């Protein structure tokens, strides 16, 4: 039990330290890709426009989190319910 507390404390301390070291450098791949395309071809026009844009970054983040949660639940359900090779009946010859 004591080892788990020490390991958890070290992990938490590392995460806090990491968040201060990298403060403000988090960004999405979409923004970087858009900047790269603009630098290569300034006259590039996107193929399509989004039909709906979330009203704020918080709503966009919430929708992304919900999508990830639903995907995780589906994958977890599949992995939990699928039959395993160990539960297959053994054949004897």
Is 74 part of any domain? yes
**Does residue 88 have a pLDDT over 60?**
no
Angle value at C-alpha 77, between 76 and 80, nearest 5 degrees: 85
Is 77 part of any domain? yes
83: which 2 tokens?
């039959």
**Residue 69 sits in which domain range?**
56-81
Q: How many domains is the chain built from?
A: 1
For the segment 4-14, the average pLDDT, to the nearest whole number, is 92
What is the C-alpha to C-alpha distance for residues 20 and 22, in angstroms, rounded to an integer? 6
pLDDT band at 93 (very low <50, low <70, confident <90, very high): low
What is the C-alpha to C-alpha distance for residues 74 and 68, in angstroms, rounded to an integer? 10
For 30-53, write each residue's pLDDT tens digit. 778 888 999 999 898 888 888 888
Query: What percentage of the chain exceeds 90 in pLDDT?
Result: 33
Is 70 part of any domain? yes
Is 39 part of any domain? no
Is 71 part of any domain? yes
């Amino acid at each position: 039990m004591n080892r788990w507390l020490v390991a958890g404390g070290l992990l938490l301390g590392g995460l806090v330290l990491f968040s201060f070291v990298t403060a403000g450098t988090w960004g999405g791949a979409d923004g970087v890709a858009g900047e790269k395309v603009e630098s290569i071809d300034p006259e590039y026009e996107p193929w399509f426009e989004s039909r709906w844009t979330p009203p704020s970054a918080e709503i966009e983040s919430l929708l992304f989190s919900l999508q990830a949660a639903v995907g995780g639940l589906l994958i977890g359900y599949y992995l939990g319910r699928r039959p395993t090779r160990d539960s297959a009946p053994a054949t004897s010859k």
